[in-house]
Structure 1
Amino acid sequence: MSIGALAARFGLATHVLRHWESMGLLHPHRDAGGRRRYGADDLTRVATILISKEAGLGLDIIRSLSATVDRTTRHKILHPEAEKLRSRIAAAQVSLELIEGGLNCAHEDITQCPNYQRLIAERVGPRVPAHGRAQDGNPPAARAD
């Protein structure tokens, strides 16, 4: 199939496929006139790239993954990506907790909600009274500004 047909099949612009080719992600055959011709393997590669991008992987990582069949290498590539994703999921869960707390709060003023107050207290940490001592009676820690 032509580059236009492949792009249309996946809802992509043709320049995206050209870019992926320039990065070594796609390797279309050329016909006698030099035009790109894509086959079933290319359909699979494009689908793989799209699924990988939806998983949050960048094109360089996708290229590295497609260049290896070694399980150990694949694990070395994917382990840091899994850690980044776990971190993003944790941050999203905290965001959802804040939003749901606001939705479920019966107070007119959200600053009066116990959930809001807990989240703020966790973020602020121990309060430092005006006279320069933390709630535990110790002077505040030296700051490295």
Structure 2
Amino acid sequence: MTIGELAARFGVAPHVLRHWESAGLLQPAARVNGRRRYQQEHVARVAVIVRGKEAGFSLRQLAEMFATPQPEQRRELLQQHHARLVERIAQTEAAKELIEHVLNCPAEDFIQCPEFQRLVEAVELRVPFPSTPS
């Protein structure tokens, strides 16, 4: 498939695939008459990159994961990222819960609403926000 066809399958621009090639994330495609031609293995690799980026991986982290020769090391990298992702999901769920309450809150000032205050307290107890460097 062409670079345009592969890019379209994932909703990215062709220049993004070229960038990923230059960054070492995507193996260069074979060239036919000077044009890149991608195979099925490229589709799988692009899927991992796209989903990895959606999950918060940086290109550097993805490159490190791909370059890690030992499955145990790769698993460790993924476990670390998984833990961070679980924390981000919990924080997002807590924010969603607060917003949903505000959208449906009958109180004139939602900040003064006892139910909102209870939700804030629950969020404080269950979701540690990342600490900022001192």
Under a length normalisation based on structure 2, what TM-score does the superposition of the two structures give? 0.73
Offset from partner CA, 1:13-40 (integer Å, 9 cap, x none): 1100100000111121123x43322112
1:12 maps onto 2:12 in alignment: yes
Alignment-derived partner of residue 102 in structure 1:
102
Alignment-derived partner of residue 31 in structure 2:
30
Alignment-derived partner of residue 76 in structure 2:
76
Alignment-derived partner of residue 111 in structure 1:
111
Alpha-carbon separation, structure 2, partners of 1:83 and 1:16: 28
Alpha-carbon separation, structure 2, partners of 1:8 and 1:90: 32
Structure 1: where are the runs of 5+ without partners?
Answer: 124-144
Cα distance change on mapping 1:9 and 1:99 into 2, 3 Å: closer
Between the aligned residues of both structures, percent identity stands at 48
Structure scoring higher RCO (CA < 8 A, sep ≥ 6) equals 2
The alpha-carbon deviation at position 48 of structure 1 amounts to 2.0
Cα distance change on mapping 1:117 and 1:45 into 2, 3 Å: closer
Structure 2: where are the runs of 5+ without partners?
Answer: 125-133
Alignment-derived partner of residue 63 in structure 2:
63
Under a length normalisation based on structure 1, what TM-score does the superposition of the two structures give? 0.69
Offset from partner CA, 1:44-102 (integer Å, 9 cap, x none): 21122122222222222222222235331012211221222122122212212322332
1:88 maps onto 2:88 in alignment: yes
Alpha-carbon separation, structure 2, partners of 1:35 and 1:100: 50
Alignment-derived partner of residue 21 in structure 1:
21
The alpha-carbon deviation at position 107 of structure 1 amounts to 2.1
Cα distance change on mapping 1:101 and 1:10 into 2, 3 Å: closer
Q: What amino acid sits opposite 1:84 in the alignment?
A: R
Alpha-carbon separation, structure 1, partners of 2:117 and 2:41: 55
Moved runs in structure 1, 4+ residues, more than 6 A? none
